[in-house]
Structure 1
């Protein structure tokens, strides 16, 4: 009996020791790594990149669907899944789609040079993410300028693939709902209620995949797989929870609309991008602390309480 109690106490102390290590290390890194500064750089490049990425995605969808209008419509469904159903979010979506629709309408004057400029602009976000992750993971830069540009362009096309994957997944769910309405056996399964949550779930899962790829493959030297998974889970959970809380705040307590009037949606969009950037940096720090503990444990330098 005494041995069992001692064993349980040791296990409890190991858990507390690990928890204290994470709390102490994460707090220290939050102070040392200039989290707000890194998030500001990512947010600025995110704002600069958002329209080019969505424009190129809508154009690519237009080619696949043989209609630019259908491409914009599919992009609208993705934005519906990303942004909360609040008045400010609706204004943001409408403004983004208006800009993209106008550019697509006059795309004949854009030309190949314009497309290359859009791709070049879109790579700035991935360069900012690379710089932030190098600082968080304490990694040296080993990739040359040309190799970095090619690497970032590859991530732009990867973003296209994930956006298109989201569209086809949402399109498949919509098709399944329509088929269910015509088949009595499927209608009894109440797939319509399932379809309300599936688009958001699909977009969240694909976003988590993108997070994992970024954490693992944006840096010049990839961190361990486990560190990438820890960062991905942390970022995805915090991103979803913070988005829900932000939506509740806007709908219940915020006076932004009264203060800023019709321009409130711009401020809301900037806040959304900024706190998403903070969440991304914090997720990277969680993964780095896990990696640091793993290295200390493997080298026998990890401090133990018992």
Structure 2
């Protein structure tokens, strides 16, 4: 029986491919002092609870983003005309969403511009309430991920929500200004620096995404984490977010026709699907960030134990 198994095709595949991978994984885990196994457990924790939590957060985001866009429209129309405000909102959508999803949401922006005069007070009230719900639930989930001992009070959660909105507004404004600078440089140099500008147009949005992840992991939870754990998780999260945008565009354009299936509610379906993807990325790298932070804490404890001098009892 043993000989039959040795000549089995699955045994040959195991010997050729999987056994070297397992040995390499064990070697990497030993080399990194157990970091690889911690990351594996973090991914397993995300697979158990992350998709359900991301679904709940995408539901709360549904009641947060549209009032936020409406409030942005009201504020921009006080400064700019309707066409310029519409262009700025479209730039914001292109930063947050893939191309196909942003194009679908632009219809809602157009209709909101037509009714901007009667919706400003409603937008402010709903925005404050929904942002508190969204960031309050996000804080609860991140506190569970990071094993925070205590949570914040209600007024502290609302204050954190308002600060997060202001922080995201600053990042989005900086991203829009950066895109305008790249477009201006392209016109000045007549696309002579096209390769460098294309590379910068990929790296700069990734940097903004990583900054948003760093703000989420560094300030939203009640527990303070090491920046040595926050930075790698934030950078990987920013890169994953950019690749997810491209994959989502391919998914919408190649595999499905949401307008044919969902009709008038296509905007809501696409938005919630993209929010689900975003929160899955946020929670996945939150688990990885927590695993790295615990690994750093254990290493620091081991180094402290090794550096402590031995105590000698002096005889009387």
Deviation of the 1:75 alpha carbon: 1.5
1:92 alignment partner in structure 2: 104
Change (3 A) 1:202 1:82: farther
2:190 alignment partner in structure 1: 187
Structure 1: 5+ residue runs without aligned partners?
1-9, 181-185, 302-306
1:243-275 deviations in whole A, cap 9, x for unaligned? 222222222233545433564443222211111
2:88 is the counterpart of 1:74: yes
2:184 is the counterpart of 1:170: no
2:113 alignment partner in structure 1: 101
Deviation of the 1:195 alpha carbon: 5.9
Aligned-pair Cα RMSD in Å:
3.1
Equivalent residue for 2:57, pick from 35, 42, 49: 42
Structure 2: 5+ residue runs without aligned partners?
1-25, 304-316
Deviation of the 1:278 alpha carbon: 0.9
2:221 alignment partner in structure 1: 219
CA contact (8 A) 1:92 1:269 kept: no
Change (3 A) 1:259 1:60: closer
Q: Partners of 1:157 and 1:217 in 2: how far apart?
A: 13
Q: Partners of 2:241 and 2:232 in 1: how far apart?
A: 14
Deviation of the 1:132 alpha carbon: 1.3
- Which piece of structure 1 moves more, 259-268 or 153-162? 259-268
SS at match of 1:296: helix
1:228 alignment partner in structure 2: 230
Change (3 A) 1:140 1:57: farther
Map of 1:247-286 to 2, 5 A cutoff?
247-261=249-263, 263-286=265-288
Equivalent residue for 2:239, pick from 214, 237, 240: 237
SS at match of 1:187: coil
2:168 is the counterpart of 1:159: yes
Q: Partners of 2:205 and 2:43 in 1: how far apart?
A: 31
Deviation of the 1:128 alpha carbon: 1.9
1:129 alignment partner in structure 2: 138
How many residues align? The count is 278
SS at match of 2:116: helix
Based on CA coordinates, which of the two structures has the bigger radius of gyration? Answer: 2
Change (3 A) 1:194 1:85: farther
Deviation of the 1:234 alpha carbon: 2.8
Q: Partners of 1:247 and 1:220 in 2: how far apart?
A: 35
Deviation of the 1:146 alpha carbon: 2.0
